[in-house]
Chains A and B, each alone.
Chain A
Amino acid sequence: MNRFDYARADSIGAAIAAAGTPGGSFLAGGTNLLDLMKIGAATPERLIDISRLPLDRIEDTDGGLRIGAMVRNADIARHPEVLARYPALAEALLSGASAQLRNAATTGGNVMQATRCSYFQDPLSPCNRREPGSGCGALGGRTRNHAVLGWDEGCIAVHPSDMCVALAAYDAVVEITGPEGSRDVPMATFHPLPDAAGAGTPALAEGEIVTHIRLPDPGGMARNARYLKLRERTSFAFALVSAAAALEIRDGVIVSARLALGGVAARPWRCHEAEAMLVGMVPTRGSFTVAAAEALTGATPSGDNAHKIELARRIAVRALDLAAAGTPDRLPALPASAFAGEDNG
């Protein structure tokens, strides 16, 4: 591990000032950054510890919620208002990592977590994301976990967060503050898509910090929302593919639909066309199959991962199915799992 300086920021202003020069990195829960430092995939010169910033509250805003960047993942997932209004968010969070990690991981850190692309994690491999201009080490390699949507030769990595997929489906907005002031960016377009040259322009400019996530009123979708995640073991694994789905159904007809896919692209993949298609349809498997096919129309394998396209299509159908069936009163013991149980008997 390289030698680095450490400073704790007492205020948002101090944090921004400290991060405004090259070589600085925010340290929140540390569950991602410290791992990357240990394997030499991240080599910051300065750590700015933001974990004590007063951003650790979930506030009610007219009909919605505003979640501070320092709120721990576990605390969002167990928040009564989140469970009541945004159950797919709770389910997504609880399907991620392990209980210990969720207790440490922060909202901001989850949004900003690095890709799990193994070539990004291997300092000996070229990687445009880690070292702009060096090339993409993953292209042509082991790409089972890589992107099938929105990728370019510059980078084929996927964003690994479960939380962000649900946030994107709920039209969440990321609040950012920096040296130039504050700005809002929709979660669904916050993470850059790659281009031929690399991973795209970073989501945050130098010195910028994520302060909050804002969730708008879910309206009539509160009780028809689910998150579903396919993984290689029943718990404690990143998504092979995942989907967040929410529906508003009135008189047996879909009046509003949300669908976002995870594990398929460098950002949570919001499927606007598929959503538009669903409006006015009856919530049947047939409708969902048509919509899911639409959601994946642009998909192409970036390597040995063609199967992900079919899996993503299928998980979209299943998530919509589950959403239509209604959110269970209590989240299942195995959140977001195919084996959750409530529809098995």
Chain B
Amino acid sequence: MDDMLNTQGHVRLGSSAGQPLTRRDGILKVTGAAPYAADARPEGVLHAVTLAAGIARGRVARLNSAAAEAHPGVVKVYTPANTPALAVSPDEKIHPFVWRMEVLQDDRVRYAGQPIAMVVAETLEAATEAARLLAPDYEAEPHRVTLDDAEPFDTETTAFGRPANMTKGDLATARATSSRHVTTQVDTSAQYHNAMEPHAITAQWVGDRLEIDTPNQAIGLSKQTFSAFLGIAPEQILLRSPFIGGGFGSKAILYGAQLLTILAARDLERPVKLALRRDQVYGPTGHRAPTRQTLRIDMDDMGRITALDHDTITLTSSFDQFLESASNASHSLYAAPVLRTTHHGRRADVGTPGPMRAPGEAPGSAALEIAMDEAARAAGLDPLDFRLLNHADTDPASGMSFSSKALRECYAEAAGRFGWAGRPQEPRQMREGRLLKGWGMGTAQFPCPMFQAAAHATLRADGSAVVETSAADMGQGAWTALAQIAADGLGIDIDKVEFRSGHSDLPDAGVAGGSGHTATAGTALFNAGSDAVRQLADLATQDPASPLFGAGNAGVTARSGRLWRNDDDRSEAYEDILARAGLELIRGEGTGAREGEPTHAMFSHGAVFAEVLVDPDLGQVRVSRLIGAFAAGRIINPALARSQLLGGMIWGIGMALQEEALHDTRSGRFVNNDLAGYHVPVNADAPMVEAITVHEDDPFVNALGIKGVGEIGVTGTVGAIGNAVWHATGVRPGRFPIHPETLI
């Protein structure tokens, strides 16, 4: 009850937030006018192409540099022999968000696809052909690229330094006293982000100032990291990333070829551009590692969970340590009085994995939701009833209350819309013509982190404003949603807000990741706007010529570009206040971050219901309906939020049925590193997807009440589809993606 009375974070948002405004950058994007990094064509630009290692482990014994250099148009060939050194070794982990990189520091090959040389030429074609002419010889060493043969590697931490293992309660006793249990094993596959825009960078030195165009999800942090490796001051770097053609985590972490391109531009004193081909993205730019998860759920007679045990074995590289933290998906979702989560790494000769849309949560949720369905079956309960029975009223891992949790409403809303009631318990009961039909569900959950952001908001003499923060728009609509928040912070119409974003000379907006960008950068923008308004109010209330004079005690309210007295109905326009004060502008500053230790467990929640059709002869699966309801705090822009949720759910279709990066185990090379071989869902795979948002007020998550919608759609969905496939066929998928032949 205490929670309900706490109003510490109450913020009144005005008329922009909450509106389904169309994207402010929409026209730019659909007309091709929005500039992406590879579009940069500075005068005299050279083209760089990296050569990818053809073995998975060993050393480069010889490169035919002479042949490459002799190729017409080639300017320089970089190999470990002549690549300028960095100020700090690229094998140094200068902070937890820096991965060890390949910048031609030595002749070692650590994975297939690793850049082992770079050619710079006058044309892209010349550089490409010269890279081929390098025809490397290798001294190969035995390698391993799969979970089965990789070398055990246990660490204290998984992704982002989270503890690898945690236990709460007495597992042995809980098991001994439970009346039933199920054990489930689920494998998930290696996946690549496959953003529409492959990675690219254009670098040029203007005097001693470095200008780079590169899609980047963490502009401020990346500037710092570049400056450390290059040994120059952060102020010497301008990083532009106004638009990102999809990032999904892969553009939050720097990779070696970016540094190589910058070094080449400095060395050659000309701008250099590197645009990776699709196949070159595979390896050096992160991926989601495969997992093998084993879950044991113990229950009492009623079907209440008495213990939940979730173990993950996952692959990382031989030289760094990102572990997909899948077991953590079991921390805070279901009411398990006894809880154990463990992670075991395996080292293989692959590129280092990294964050990919719902890192940890996506594969973890997939396995957990399959296990929950098996447990429901063992308990003789409907999958939804079982989840409701085991609804966590407080966070099992921390014991804290949830800051808000409208999960029951999500279940009810989505189940109602889907028509879940009356679902037969047994599999293979429903048909559509000759096709088997099945229904499955899963619970969605995603944490609500906040990072650090800063922003400026400047009111101008004409009553318009410019707001500034180096936010990243990856297609999620930051340009629009953040501008909406900024407009409300300033109390003006959004059309009067000029939004400046996407380059590193602006205040740092923090990382666009963890579904926390709108919350973090939005808070900073709102606070900056409020700061400007407060200054304006000070001017007016102290000016005898203003109708607001003396309103200081009662206060004023900003709305529609005017300040209004709270004690009567007089008001004054921003322009007039500024004009009388003889000011051209007023600048507000603001930051966004979570203060102090969290007092609540903070998560977005949702419920996803899937219907699949399965061809009984051929095993082909189609998700005919997918309905999700999500409670994600305040929704700033319903249209954009819906797109994010739909995108996440469709991502879940891909993870459940299609996406899988495959290596040839003998060569260690990929066999499907292109979009014809690595399948992502197409329109025909998502005929009916619906995302509903459920109202949720959260006074604790942050002052604006914003959670996040970028990743949660993936969670719940994969398991829901797997469960629907079981319901259609009676076959419990032990592996994602589900292949047709496993269903016949």
Contact = CB atoms under 8 A, between A and B. Distances in A.
Nearest to A313: B617
Interface residues of A, number: 41
Interface in A287-339: 307-308, 310-311, 314-315, 317-318, 334, 337-339
Nearest to A237: B679
B682 A234 contact: yes
Nearest to B126: A3
B740 A311 contact: yes
Contacts of B619: 230, 311
Nearest to B618: A230
B82 interface: no
A233 B277 contact: no
Contact of B679 (A232, A311, A337): A232
A232 B433 contact: no
Contact of B741 (A1, A119, A140, A307): A307
Nearest to B54: A124
B606 to A, nearest CB: 25
A343 B434 contact: yes
A122 interface: yes
Q: Which of A141, A234, A315 has the most CB of B within 10 A?
A: A234
A304 to B, nearest CB: 11
Contact of A39 (B279, B432, B740): B279
B681 A233 contact: yes
B60 interface: no
Interface in A139-181: 140-142
B129 interface: yes
Contact of A235 (B617, B677, B682): B682
Interface in B716-744: 737, 739-741, 744
Given A39-B279, A233-B657, A142 B662 contact: yes
Interface of A, secondary structure class, is: loop
Contact of B618 (A122, A125, A314, A334): A314
B664 A233 contact: no
B621 to A, nearest CB: 9
Interface in A227-263: 230-238, 240
A338 B277 contact: no
A240 B658 CA distance: 13
A232 B618 CA distance: 11
Contacts of B613: 339, 344
Interface string A84-103: 00000000000000000000
B297 to A, nearest CB: 31
A40 interface: yes
Contact of B677 (A2, A118, A236, A338): A118
A63 interface: no
A233 B54 contact: no
Contacts of A39: 279
Nearest to A338: B615
Contacts of B677: 116, 118
A235 B687 CA distance: 12
A78 interface: no
Interface string B647-689: 0000000000110001011110101100011010111110000
B435 A142 contact: no
A38 interface: yes
A344 B672 contact: no
Interface in B622-662: 622, 657-658, 662
Given A235-B682, A235-B684, A314 B129 contact: no
B671 A141 contact: yes
A122 B672 CA distance: 10
Given A232-B657, A343-B434, A1 B128 contact: yes
Interface range on chain B (Cβ under 8 Å from partner): 35 or more
B132 interface: yes
A142 B681 contact: no
Contacts of B279: 39
B394 interface: no
A318 B684 contact: no
B682 A236 contact: yes
A317 B679 CA distance: 27
B125 interface: yes
Contacts of B620: 230-231, 338-339
Interface string B595-623: 00000000000000000010101111010
Given A1-B128, A140-B666, A344-B433, A232 B684 contact: no
Contact of B617 (A118, A125, A238, A314): A314
A116 B667 contact: no
Given A141-B671, A233-B684, A315 B622 contact: no
B159 to A, nearest CB: 28
Nearest to A238: B676
A306 B247 CA distance: 38
Contacts of A125: 664, 667, 669
Contacts of A2: 129, 132
Contacts of A311: 618-619, 740-741, 744
Q: Which of A315, A334, A339 has the most CB of B within 10 A?
A: A339
A235 B658 CA distance: 12
A10 B677 CA distance: 36
B678 to A, nearest CB: 11
Q: Which of A116, A230, A232, A334 has the most CB of B within 10 A?
A: A232
A40 B667 contact: no
B618 A3 contact: no
B69 to A, nearest CB: 16
Interface in A102-151: 116, 118-119, 122-125, 140-142
Q: Which of B434, B615, B667, B739 has the most CB of A within 10 A?
A: B615
B433 A234 contact: no
Given A230-B740, A233-B681, A311-B741, A122 B669 contact: yes
B617 A318 contact: yes
Contacts of A122: 669, 671
A99 to B, nearest CB: 11
Nearest to A235: B684
B121 to A, nearest CB: 12
A28 B486 CA distance: 54
Interface string B373-406: 0000000000000000000000000000000000
B432 A345 contact: yes
A317 B617 contact: yes
Nearest to A317: B617
A318 B620 CA distance: 13
B685 A40 contact: no
A124 B658 contact: no
Contacts of B618: 230, 311, 314-315, 318, 338
A10 B125 CA distance: 28
Interface string B276-290: 010100000000000
A315 B744 CA distance: 12
Nearest to B738: A232
Contacts of B741: 307-308, 310-311
Nearest to A118: B671
B129 A1 contact: yes
A235 B682 CA distance: 7
A271 B697 CA distance: 66
Contacts of B672: 118
29 contacts: A1-B125, A1-B128, A2-B129, A116-B676, A118-B672, A118-B677, A119-B671, A125-B667, A125-B669, A141-B666, A142-B662, A230-B619, A230-B620, A231-B620, A233-B681, A234-B684, A236-B684, A240-B740, A311-B618, A315-B617, A317-B617, A338-B615, A338-B617, A338-B620, A339-B435, A339-B613, A339-B615, A343-B433, A344-B433
4 tightest A-B contacts by CB? A344-B433, A307-B741, A234-B684, A338-B615
Interface of A: 1-3, 38-40, 116, 118-119, 122-125, 140-142, 230-238, 240, 307-308, 310-311, 314-315, 317-318, 334, 337-339, 343-345
Given A3-B125, A125-B667, A339-B622, 11 more contacts: A1-B129, A116-B677, A118-B672, A119-B664, A123-B132, A140-B666, A142-B671, A231-B620, A235-B683, A240-B740, A344-B435
